[in-house]
Amino acid sequence: MFSEEKVNKLVAEISDNYASEELFLVKDGSGMPNRDCIKHIIFEIRRIMFPGYFDSENLSNTLPQYFVGHNIIRLHKELACQIKAALVQQASEENRLSDIEEKAEQIATEFFMSLSEIQRKLIKDVQAAFDGDPAAKTKHEIIFCYPGLFAIFVYRLAHELYKRKVPFIPRIMSEYAHSHTGIDINPGAQIGEYFFIDHGTGVVIGETTIIGNNVKIYQGVTLGALSTRSGQLLRDVKRHPTIEDDVTIYSSASILGGKTVIGKGSVIGGNAFITESVAPGTRVSVKNPELSFTDKNNKNKDKEIFD
């Protein structure tokens, strides 16, 4: 029943859609960056950052310099290739390919030269998780299993590329971590050391958020914008809050707005909804969470809700 006539009709309609929409004009002769390749780079860098955890064989113990050297040379080539693909999509006609290649090579090199510093930060993030979660049996378990650490790790990589204005790739990275963990950290966010996200599902950290050192947040926390009605006009405006050092934010709290500052050492209670700044050292809780307690057998107007 999928007759020749129907097939031809559908082919014509979709071809027409292609022809009429600028969206479909991915640049001819050059593909988009390759998502699987970028995932691969993430996982391979994780093997370098945390040697022995994700190998079937613990190769790094023996003469680790060969393990490290071989892999960074290999991954540098792969990343430079992906960055080039991303830059080409964004390039205008007057950009020369050789300039783009040189820029891609340079960004990839800077990215890799930042890895040992990122590694030192991740060690601190592991410590923060161990100190912050009584359910953590060992630091090994955190490295091996915790989605929060994975999301932070990917963020720290993506942020290095975001800073260098690489298109597509930082977002591919952060959306991969988002899909895997339910934690959505925009690569533009600025995040300090000893950062810990527990459980994490539903956490959103917006593009212009600034987070200090030693901050701990729980599942469902939003660090967001107040309104996005103005759309693209808000681009590059600081729309998300600033969280100072030593702040804890419990589950499902929302902190909104580019001018909102949570002062150093504050503690924000679960479900709090905050749109204005909070002074340092403040403990904020949802006051009198006014609940109605009724006997279930006492039929009343709540019936419709909870029956």
Interface with its own copies in residues 95-154 (CB under 8 A)? 102, 105-106, 108-109, 112-113, 115-116, 119-120, 123, 126, 130-141, 143-147
**Range 70-107 burial, b when 16+ CB lie within 10 A, else e:** ebbeebbebbbbbbbbbbbeebeeeeeeeebbebbbeb
CB of 258 to its own copies, least distance (A): 10
200 contacts 219 by C-beta, under 8 angstroms: yes
CA atoms within 13 Å, Cβ hemisphere of 12: 6
Q: Which of 60, 82, 209, 242 binds its own copies (CB under 8 A)?
A: 60
Q: 15-54 mask for its own copies (x: CB under 8 A)?
A: xxxx--x-xx-x-xxxxx-xx------------x-xxxxx
Residue 248 bridge partners (DSSP)? 216, 267
Among 112, 110, 152, 113, residue whose Cα is nearest residue 129: 152
Residue located via tokens 């709090």: 272
186 contacts 205 by C-beta, under 8 angstroms: yes
Q: Determine, following the binding rule CB under 8 A, whether residue 207 of this chain makes contact with its own copies.
A: yes
Q: Which of 95, 99, 190, 237 binds its own copies (CB under 8 A)?
A: 237
Task: State which residue, 30 or 190, has the beta carbon closest to its own copies.
Answer: 30
Q: Determine, following the binding rule CB under 8 A, whether residue 14 of this chain makes contact with its own copies.
A: yes
Task: Give the binding-site size for its own copies (rule: CB under 8 A).
Answer: 166
Task: State which residue, 68 or 192, has the beta carbon closest to its own copies.
Answer: 68
CA atoms within 13 Å, Cβ hemisphere of 60: 14
Q: 157-186 mask for its own copies (x: CB under 8 A)?
A: ----------xx--xx--x--xxxxx-x-x
Name residues contacting its own copies, limited to 255-284 (CB under 8 A): 256-257, 265-267, 269-275, 278-279, 281-284
